[in-house]
Amino acid sequence: MAASSSEPGPGAAGPTVLVVDDSALMRRILQDLIAVSGEFRVVATARNGLDAIRKVEAFEPDLITMDITMPDLDGLGAIEQIMRARPRPIVVVSARAGRGTAEAIRALELGAVDLVEKPEGGSAAELQTLGPRLLAALRAAAAADRGQLRSAAPPRPRPAPPAAGAATAGAARVAVVVAASTGGPRALAEFLPALPAPLGAAVLVVQHMPAGFTRSLAERLAGLCGRRVVEAEQDAVVAPEAVYVAPGDYHMRVAGTAGAATVALTREPPLWGVRPAADHLFRSAAEVFGAAAVGVVLTGMGRDGAEGLWAIRRAGGGTLAQDRGTSVVYGMPNAAVQAGAVNDVVPLEAMAGRVADEIRRRTGRGAA
């Protein structure tokens, strides 16, 4: 049996946390990193999904950190049951190895709100980088709207996307640029498949996510959308009907001109504490596509996207933000609204239709 509880640190009075991992060493490491912050209080640990469900009932933690690969009941099964019976914000702590990346993306679709990469080893340097990322994810999770956390039915896969170039020849003259953070993978899994086909535009996405997981995100979205979704590569032509996901730890911009735009990736310093940052993408879209750009800010913690969305609005483009009622965290959409950058605030379920309307205005034709 794993240790059932831990004493709060001196003065600890913040949100309570349940730590779930099948490794006793990793449970201790996570417990220590959380306790030393003074912001959160670990009330219990669990060694697998079944143990986690029992501890949720016994301790009613505010937040959960969840491993994915565990015996008896894995993290996916535990998340699904917790979200159905006792929804609360869950941060996935997962290794970037093998099937772990795809399963981590599935966990976010099921309702987990954020993802932290588990270090491959236990060196002091690796743990130094884990601590700040873990605490940032817990802060974002603490800001999540519990009303938006629910058990989700598996999204239905669409027909396989066309082979590269089959239906995306040439370069786009209209671009949709999307920003998402906490709760974003689940929002993208609803928004992107709902976009009509043909769309008449390229779609470029910045999702705040650790390096190594964005390729799995793109592959998962491709299966759901029935259109080409790829992790963006340097100098790739920005083609109509395709979706480009910014690779983790790289800023993504568009370069060139509308009708001849390409992807530009850089390792400049983080902006707003994140890399990729949507503001870089949005500003470049305003410069390259002007009034033929449509900017969308989805759920997320912080203010990334607000200044870039304002640049798109100044250029005559369309600017949309997800509404508070459907956002897991209303931070990024609210920052864009407060900046005066948003033409329309839209519920998630209506966002694809509004984007299609904006494209129709810019192309002079309907999106079927």
Is 74 known to be catalytic? no
Is 181 known to be catalytic? yes
The active-site residue, picked from 208, 280, 284, 323, is 208
DSSP 325: G
Neighbouring residues of 147: CB distance < 8 A, sequence distance ≥ 6: none
Is 208 known to be catalytic? yes
Closest alpha carbon to 314 in 357, 355, 343: 343
d(CA 216, CA 74): 19
Closest alpha carbon to 331 in 310, 298, 302, 305: 302
Q: How many CA atoms lie within 13 A of 346 on its CB side?
A: 24
Give the distance from CA 157 to its chain's centroid: 19
Determine how many CB atoms are found less than 10 A away from the CB of residue 360: 14
The active-site residue, picked from 51, 67, 74, 304, is 304
d(CA 139, CA 295): 26
The active-site residue, picked from 94, 181, 216, 284, is 181
d(CA 348, CA 206): 17
Alpha-carbon distances of 167 from 191, 197, 239, 359, rounded to whole Å: 21, 11, 9, 18
Handedness of CA 26, 28, 31, 32 (dihedral sign): negative
Residues identified as active-site: 181, 208, 304
